């Protein structure tokens, strides 16, 4: 099963590089969207814990 995981990871990496080369604007937008989602999630966690201390 380890070799299947390695093959899938390699295929994902190749696809990511291909996508980055052929559509850099879309790749940047995808990364920006993920970063914004992580930022919102982190902000929500901070608000939650802040409300617990009030």
Parse the chain into domains and list their residue ranges.
24-54
Say if residues 46 and 53 touch (Cβ distance below 8 Å): no
Give the number of other CB atoms < 10 A from CB of residue 7: 10
Between CA 28 and CA 30 the distance in angstroms is: 5
Q: Say how far residue 3 (Cα) sits from the centre of its chain.
A: 24
Terminal C-alpha separation, the chain: 50
pLDDT at residue 53, as a whole number: 86
Between CA 8 and CA 20 the distance in angstroms is: 18
> Over the stretch 3-53, which tens digit does the pLDDT of each residue have?
899 999 999 999 989 988 999 999 899 899 999 999 999 999 999 999 998
pTM of the model: 0.63
């Amino acid at each position: 099963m380890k070799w299947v995981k390695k093959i899938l990871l390699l295929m994902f990496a190749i696809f990511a590089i291909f996508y980055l080369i052929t559509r850099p604007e879309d790749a940047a937008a995808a990364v920006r969207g993920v970063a914004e989602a992580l930022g919102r999630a982190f902000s929500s966690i901070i608000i939650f814990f802040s409300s617990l201390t009030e």
